[in-house]
Every structure is written in structure tokens, then in C-alpha cells.
Structure 1
Amino acid sequence: MRTAAPVGHPARHACRGSPALTLFHGWRVVAVCFVVASFGWGLGLFGSSVYLQAVTAAHGWAVAEVASAITLFFLVSAAVQRTVGRSIDRWGPRPVLALGTVSIAAGVALIGQVQAPWQLYPCFVLVGIGWSTLSTTGLSATVAPWFERHQGRSITLALMGASMGAIAGVPLLLLALARLGLGPGLATAALVAALVLLPLIGRVLRFRGPADLGLRRDGDAPAQPGTPAAASALPLPPPLGDPSVSPPAVRRALLWSAAAGFALGLTVQIGFITHHLALAAPALGAAGAGLLISATGVTAFAGRLVLARIVDRVDPRRLAAVIMLVQTAALAAIALFPSAAVLVAASLVYGYGIGHVTTLGPVVVRREFGAAAFGATYGSAATVIQLVSALGPALFGVLRDAFAGYGPVLGMAAAGTAMGAAVLMGGRRSVRRVPSS
């Protein structure tokens, strides 16, 4: 005799039309988003460090020149963040993420064919469009409708794929370039991404949310008439950013302090990641620097594992501020003590926080504003975050050339990260001072 799935079970539900117990489709969505994040970050954010090093080595172009083209990739992504969020809210994730996959694959393949610096710019426009859909905003908006009690865990698990982009993506890209050369290597990476992602997106992301399956969030069965209240999942209190419970001033303080704080932290983070290979190569060699980037991805993955266990039980805004202060100390250590041992140790510490800072932005907004129109709400914040953080690669490049080294750059980066932590907590304190309406 089969037993019915317990109401409120986070991972299972009775599939419509079948009494058999089946994995809640929301967790399948999380798994696909994990794979998408692996390719998105591997070819996007972490791939940018490979492109910077490989293109400058192949053509002899200035670091700042190539870094400026990479900055365009982040600027384009920032410009379409709100559009990505709204499009997923309106049409669902499948067409949006499929378009992004085609765009990033085309851009990466074309980077290997450039013969003049200006040709990098249209390539990185395509990469930027793809990255905007396959990174934080697109994946968070895809996962958000499926969960309530497990909102933080689900987003964290989906974005753990970003760490795989560093752990596996960078070494595989470097291997492909070493074995095949710049053009064929990048074309092969782009083709593999398209062949893996497009079938997964087409099959699994065809549903927009649990309502399409006759369920509620987290896989809960619909409430039946006469069901005792105790048998149903307990409702969560409305989020602080809900218009029904908070005045506009509170919502603005929450949203824009989160946007500004994460923008500062991610400006440094994206700049550091983009230049990490170039920063580490003089001390460790190209192979050693590649291994360090992979090891940094491992610590980021470990950080996300820890985050997945605790995120639904802690204040994500406060946790993000603490992690940024830890990253501040790591950057300051590399700047003040420029030895190979300190570089390795501090990079691993900094890497532990990479997953937290990347993941906690959407978690903060989801926690404080709820699931309704999450794509558009976080898309607004993500536009600011990415417009500012897009300056990271070029800023690091220009300052590195100006100071003829990375030491002063990392000192300024530490100060910027500390400021981001202060802004995050300042937004929470300002909310307490706003009188309720």
C-alpha cells in the first residue's frame, strides 16, 4: 500500500495523475540551475581571467586595453538585468535562459577569432547578454517561485554551480587553450556549453512555478476544504519590504542599501577574480596560478555548502557584512605581505567569501521583499550592482598600470570592501529610525 507524501515535505510531492512519490520539481529546477551556473560562471566571470591572460599573451595587447573590453561585458549585463528579471516573471525562464546560452556561446567562440582590439567589444557584448541571463538574476528569478521555507537554501544550492565554474571551468579552459590553441579551444568550450545546456533548459524549465503542477511552494499539496490548520504548513510573516507592512521609505532604504553594499563588495570581487591569474602568475607561474584559482573555487564551494546549511536560520544581511570584513582582511594581507605563501592563504580565505557575497544579494532581497515580482525587484538592484561592479576589471587594470603593480590596488580594494559592509548594516539601522506609517 502506497502512502501519501507528508504535507510540507521539502523535497517530495504526489505527482499529479500518479499516486507514486516523486521528487518535487522545484529541486530539479535547482539542479539544472546548478549546471547552468557552472557554465555561466565558467565562461563568464571566471572565464574573463582566462580571456585576459590568453588574449594579451597571444596578441601582445595592453592589459588595460583588454580589461576595458571585459568591462563592457559587465556593463552590458548590468544594462539588461531588469529586463531579464521582468522577462522571466512574464514568460518564464526557458526562453530567456536559452537565448542567453546561445549568446554567451557565440561570444566566447568569437573571442578566439579576433585580430584587432576593437573586435573584442562586440564579442563581449554577446558574452554580457548571455551572462545576464545565466548568472545571479536569471537563476534566482528561476528558482524563487518554487520555494518559501527553503528560499535561501534553494538559491544557495543553485548558485553553488558558480564554484564549479572556478573549480573545473578555469582548468578545462586553460587545458583546451593549451592543447587546441586560442581559437579552436574557445570554440570547443562554447559548443560543449550549448550542447549541454539547451536540452536541460528546454526540458526541465518548461514550468514557471509550482502552480503549473497544482502545488504550492516547497512542494506542499494544495489545502483541502476542511483541512485542520495544524496540518498545513505554518505561514511565514510578511517580508519587511512588503508594501502592506512597511512604508515606502523603509522599502527604499532596504533595497538601495543592499544594492549599494553589494555593488561595492562585488566591484572588488569581480576585479580581483578577473586579475587573479595575472596577479598570481609572477609568484606561482601560469600552472600554479591556475591551480590557485581552482583551489579558490574549492573554498568558495565550501563556503556555499556552509551557507546552504545556515542561510534560512540567520540574518543574511548581517552575515554578508561579516564576510565582507573577512575579505577585507584577506586583501589587506596580500597588499601588505607580498609573498607566495600569503598570496595563497589569503586567496583561499577570500575565495571562501566569494560564494557568500555572490549568493546573499538575491537572498537578502528575497527575504526582505518576498517572491511576488522578485525578478523585477531584484533586477532593479542587480542593475545598480552590476553597473558599478562592471568597473572592477578596468579599474584594477588602470590602477595596476598606473602603480606598476597590484599592491596599492589591493589596499584600495580592501577599503572599498569594508565600505560595502558598512553600507549594508547602515541600511538596516536606517530602517529602524524610519517611523512606520
Structure 2
Amino acid sequence: MPGSPPPPSPRTSRWTRGWGITAALSVTETVSYGVLYYAFTAFLVPMRDDLGLATAEVTGALSLAILVSAPAGIVVGRYLDRHGPRALMTAGAVAGTALVLAWSRVEGLASLYLVWLAIGLVMATVFYEAAFTVLAKHFAAAEERRRAMTAVTLVAALSSFIFVPLSQLLIDAHGWRDALVILAAVLGAVTIPLHALVLQRAPDEPREGGRHAPSARAGAVLRSADFWFLSAAFFLSQFAAIAALVHAIPFLLERGYSATFAAFAVGFFGIAQIPGRVLFTPLAARLRPATSTAVVFLLVAAGVGVIVAISGAAAVVAGFVLLGMGNGMATLARATVIADRYGQAAYGTISGVAQAVTIAARGAAPVTASLYLAVVGYGALLWSLTAVALVAAVLGFAAERSAAPAGP
């Protein structure tokens, strides 16, 4: 028809669809993390008191969910490599809503653990790893993919700021059980329709720059030394960051700082992850992959090193800022490095294994560091963690400098 605008090109349509999915996931990740993870902090004390449990028993439920999400994430990744995300992530949102309602009705330790074991399975379907797999498959160009993943994590970084105080307000007004019912309604009302209506399978043949984007086979990647060097680097970096964070306040108290200042300084770890994620995309675009990956781990090493080596309040705060920025970048680095290096076809499977390794680090760090601490003391512990992060930087640099990714 004369005068009618030309139809959008497939590339433009796909770009628009990809950013629509990014916007939807930004919202659903914020709400999912808020209700299924961060809100637990606010419910810990009222749950413990009402159920007559010890603090360690209650927090064990969250630990169980995180551990269960690791192997479940591998299965979810394999599924998303073969099928679209709509059915699985919508089912995860429905199950998550039902399980929060079930959480509001638990009467003892066994039922609490049963509910949270199931929530761990849901985490694998609706948390970052699933979202990153969806984005990796919709954005073939590395720079766009990094921007999309960064956008989701920046919005979702507000999750704790929104849902921890909101949960506390609801608990104060309605009690912890009714507060969970309200949060379940919020979770369902936001995540179910967005997953059901917006998510869709990516085109079968992703292209970058007019050619087929290279993708490696999952089996070949998981048998390769460079993948395990890279995974070891992320394991060590996460281990160092979590162990330093867990023992930061006791270390600062031993150094003579007040408890108020110690808590204030440690708070910068969380805040600094936001600018870290903002800076990651331009950093990755300007540096070679091996260099940008090493820089992420060097920031973790520098943060821990500054905290232990330099006295003074300003140095302590600066150390936690560096540590937080490095940790925030690491979340994006792991997701984008896998897509950039190994392609889109088997991203879910490969990323699921890498995420399981990272979760293992989170679980191992507090206990292992505590055992080591009992032998060497706080100063030696933090110097050792600095060295661990430096080893991560060397491994990450070496893995990225190895041979180019194999094709299918």
C-alpha cells in the first residue's frame, strides 16, 4: 500500500523482542529474589520464636535450598538448551507462589525443610542462571548480550532494598504468616503473567554480524581443561570474597574498630556491587577477554588486601568497595564469558555446571575459613584469601588466553 511504512526487518524485530524479554526479566528477577531469597532475613527471628527452633536450624533451610539449586540448575540449563523458557519459568513462578503459601503454614522443622528443599528447585528455574540462559540465546552480539545481562542485574540489585524492609513492615502489621501470604500474592501476580506472556524461544539459528555464531558442544567443553581452569578461577574468587565477608566483622573488632563502624563498612560490599556491574560492560568492551577477566579477580584480591594491610577507617571502607565491585562484576563475568567463549547453543548446560561450582564455593567458604582461622588467626586468614584471589586471576587469565572456542 503506497505510503505505508516498510515492515520491520527480522533483525529489528528480534532486537525489540530481546529487549522486551530483558525488561520483563528485570522485573521478575527482582521480585523472585526478593521473595524467595532476601525476605528470609526478615522472617528468621519471628519464625524461630514461633516454631521454637534454634537460629542455626532455621537458617539451615535456606542453605538447603541453595545447595539443592546447584544440581537442579544443571538440569534446568539442559532443558533450556532444548526448549523455550516459557513453560518452565512459568511453572517455576506458579510453584514458587504455592510454596511461599506453604511456607506460611509450616509447623515444625521437617515441614520447613521440605518446603525449602522444593524452593531450591524453584530457584533453579527463576533465578539469574535461567534468566541469563534466556538472554544468551536472544542476543547473538556480545556487546548487546552484556548490556542486557547488566540491565537485569542492576534492576535486581534493588531486590534486597525493596523486599527486606517491605517484609518487615508486613510482619509488623500482619504477623509473619499473613505477611508470607501477601508476598506470595505479589510473587504470583508479577512473575506468572510476565513469564507466560513475554518469554519465548529464541530463533533456532542465531547469527552475529551476518554469519552463524560459533557454538561449542557441551560435552567437549566439559571435558576441556580451559573450562575447568575458568571454573576454578570463579570458585577461588567466590571463596575468597565470601570467606572475607563472613569473617570481616570479627576481624575489624579484633583490630579495635567499633561494632557500629564494622557493620557500616561491611555494608559497602553490597552497595559497591551496583557500580561494579555498571562498569563491567565498558571494561569488557575495552579490554581483551583475558585481561578483563583477570581484572575482576584482581579487584577481589585488592579489596581483601587493602582491608588487612592498611589501617584506618577510610582504607577499610575502600577495601570493601573494591571487594564488592569485584564480586558484582564476577556475576556478570561468569555469565558473559561462557556465552562469548562457547556460544549460545549449549549455554544453559555449560553455565549450569559453572554455577554449581560457584555455589559449592559459597557453601565451602564459611566452614573451611573458620577451620583455617582457628589455626592461623584473622590476619593470616585474610592474607591467605588475598593470595587465593590472586591465584584466581592467574587461572582466569590463563584460561582466557588458551585456544579459541571450538565449533560444533
Class of the TM-score when normalised by the shorter of the 2 chains = 0.7 to 0.9
The match for 1:327 is: 300
Flag the 1:94–1:61 CA change in 2: closer, same or farther, 3 A: same
Deviations 1:349-406 (CA, angstroms, capped at 9, x unpaired): 332233311111121111111111221222232233323433346657x669979x98
Flag the 1:8–1:76 CA change in 2: closer, same or farther, 3 A: same
The match for 2:130 is: 138
In structure 2, C-alpha distance between the alignment counterparts of 1:273 and 1:46, rounded to whole Å: 17
Flag the 1:198–1:392 CA change in 2: closer, same or farther, 3 A: farther
Flag the 1:283–1:148 CA change in 2: closer, same or farther, 3 A: same
For 2:201, which of 189, 199, 208 is the aligned residue? 208
Q: Does 1:284 align with 2:263?
A: no
Q: Does 1:365 align with 2:338?
A: yes
Contact residue 80 and residue 129 of structure 1 kept, 8 A: yes
Aligned AA (2:259):
A
Flag the 1:312–1:265 CA change in 2: closer, same or farther, 3 A: same
TM-score normalised according to structure 2 size: 0.77
For 2:352, which of 379, 392, 411 is the aligned residue? 379
What SS is found at the alignment partner of 1:80? helix
Aligned AA (2:18):
G
In structure 1, C-alpha distance between the alignment counterparts of 2:81 and 2:38, rounded to whole Å: 28
The match for 1:19 is: none
Q: Does 1:80 align with 2:72?
A: yes
Q: Does 1:390 align with 2:382?
A: no
The runs of 5 or more residues in structure 2 that have no matched partner are none
Flag the 1:279–1:99 CA change in 2: closer, same or farther, 3 A: farther
In structure 1, C-alpha distance between the alignment counterparts of 2:162 and 2:252, rounded to whole Å: 18
Contact residue 70 and residue 393 of structure 1 kept, 8 A: no
The runs of 5 or more residues in structure 1 that have no matched partner are 16-22, 219-232
Matches within 5 A, 1:11-410: 12-13=12-13, 24-44=16-36, 46-47=38-39, 49-50=41-42, 64-111=56-103, 114=106, 116-149=108-141, 150-205=144-199, 207-210=200-203, 233-235=209-211, 238=214, 241=216, 252-269=224-241, 283-284=259-260, 293=267, 296-334=269-307, 344-392=317-365
Flag the 1:408–1:136 CA change in 2: closer, same or farther, 3 A: farther
Deviations 1:136-158 (CA, angstroms, capped at 9, x unpaired): 32011111221112232222323
In structure 1, C-alpha distance between the alignment counterparts of 2:165 and 2:272, rounded to whole Å: 16
Aligned AA (1:152):
R
In structure 2, C-alpha distance between the alignment counterparts of 1:408 and 1:170, rounded to whole Å: 34
- Taking only the aligned residue pairs, the percentage that are identical comes to 26
Contact residue 302 and residue 322 of structure 2 kept, 8 A: no
What SS is found at the alignment partner of 1:24? helix
Structure 1 vs Structure 2 CA RMSD? 4.4
Flag the 1:250–1:201 CA change in 2: closer, same or farther, 3 A: closer
In structure 2, C-alpha distance between the alignment counterparts of 1:72 and 1:409, rounded to whole Å: 27
Flag the 1:260–1:33 CA change in 2: closer, same or farther, 3 A: same
Of the structure 1 ranges 308-317 and 366-375, higher mean CA displacement relative to structure 2 is found in 308-317
Of the structure 1 ranges 360-369 and 275-284, higher mean CA displacement relative to structure 2 is found in 275-284
In structure 2, C-alpha distance between the alignment counterparts of 1:178 and 1:7, rounded to whole Å: 53
Of the structure 1 ranges 168-177 and 150-159, higher mean CA displacement relative to structure 2 is found in 168-177
In structure 1, C-alpha distance between the alignment counterparts of 2:306 and 2:359, rounded to whole Å: 27
What SS is found at the alignment partner of 2:158? helix
Of the structure 1 ranges 142-151 and 328-337, higher mean CA displacement relative to structure 2 is found in 328-337
Contact residue 289 and residue 400 of structure 2 kept, 8 A: no
In structure 2, C-alpha distance between the alignment counterparts of 1:338 and 1:115, rounded to whole Å: 49
In structure 1, C-alpha distance between the alignment counterparts of 2:98 and 2:380, rounded to whole Å: 37
The match for 1:223 is: none
Q: Does 1:424 align with 2:396?
A: yes
